[in-house]
A and B are shown apart, each in its own frame.
Chain A
Amino acid sequence: MGDTGSSGQGTGGRAGPSPVLGEMEKALLSVDRVKAGKIVTDSCIPGSPFTCLETLIVPALEDVGRRWETGEVALSQVYMSGRICEEIVDTMLPAGDPHRVDQPKMAIAVLEDHHTLGKRIVLSVLRAGGFEVIDYGHGLSVDQLVEKVTRDDVKILLISTLMLPAALRAKEAIARIKTAQPQTKVIIGGAPFNFDPRLWNEVGADAVGHTASDALELVKQMAEGIR
């Protein structure tokens, strides 16, 4: 089960949450949009969206993701938390905002199958983290994915899979992308990678995300390295 991704590179430890962060997490896990919005309004400085992202929204999502990995929270809560934060961030940092486009070009896709929840969660969390991500959709063949990534000169590619055969097909896709564009970084995630810790390495990915917050941390690290 579970669709999203941990890191081959590691995400580091964290001190216990502040009271505001704890309240934010509580609001997200109980799917209380109104309360989450109020916490952001009350605790963030108007006009400083990135401070709010970095000190409240992103840490809250990261903690929710970590707690899913340990079985403390459910996938539905990760999904709804991402959606709520995405809505909040969209009001502070609308799509197309110049701050969002100052980043390496990145894209996300579901390879071969049609299970889109993992992609949707990662997309929400990345957008809530202030990143602009091209959504290539789902059910893409290896040929289609390689063609899109090379056409768009994508620098960071996130691949989501649910079924094992699709996860295995990522090997060919990644090899062809790396041949065409050796600088492109590939993050992979999805249930098969959560059940087999060796699989991400076997398919040639640069990193694996076991949760959406892993994906966010990895994207931040890779974006810093590429800039």
Chain B
Amino acid sequence: MLGYILRRLLMTIPTLFLVSLAVFALVRLIPGDPVSLMFGDGGTPEQIARGRAALGLDQPVFVQFWLWLKKVATGDFGNTITDGQAVLPLVLQRFQVSASVVLVSVAMAALIGVTIGVIAAWKQDSKLDVAIISLTTIILSVPTFWLGLLLLLLFGLKLGWLPVIGYVPISENPWQAMLFLLLPVATLTLHESGVVTRMARASAIEVLRLEYITHARAKGLSEARVLARHVLPNAFAPTWTLIGLILGNLLGGIAVLETVFTLPGLGRLLVDGVFARDYPVVQGCLLFTALLYVMVNLVVDLFYPLFDPRVSAE
């Protein structure tokens, strides 16, 4: 097992190297430049050249890449161009915001989705099942950012129940934090439970058809026990993989939702970094996201056997 983990970890190194190379190249290809952005309509060529030199942007790209890579290897992601603060703590701090939204939503979606999915499977082809399937299909079709906007309009502006902008860290004031996080979490939960429900239903149906379930039923176990003991755990295994996928995708992909709700998360840090041409920030965000994605997948794979007795990690 340990050997397997080590092997998997080693395999991520070339991937991450390629990622960092790609990230660096991508970022430098973006037209525009942080220094001329700072000078606006009045920058003279000398001023811009001086500013670029101070940031080390006048060096050949390969030299810049090498210097950056060396620092990254020691855990130093450099400093932002806009305000000079260290990138890694910034990324981590913003990640907390994204993570709190994503983790809470995915956890809730998993709970709701797996439960409803198993129920739908159990009552397959009943009116309830059809209703659940129809509802999830519709929910899945609504773009999350549009849904977020509509919720914001209703609860923030029309009813005035919830704040329309801003954020308070949970550590600081849990109650306040909840008010700010309610809408984004609700939006995401709604959407993701749709995804999870469908997956859980499909896996549960597959499990329900297996012989040992029939066997369990024949043994005289109550339906509730069959569902709880046999169906739920087995239906959860593929769902677990899906949850991993959702997590990875969301952590990088909630930029749009963060824009809608003005949350200072990782996604917005990246988008703002792109607009400000803050190279170290963009590089840091992208590399961090990639790292996270790889790690989440690894963890999902490692835990998979725990949920599915039929598969072992080796």
Q: Do A and B make up one complex? A: no
Interface residues of A (CB under 8 A from B): none
Interface residues of B (CB under 8 A from A): none
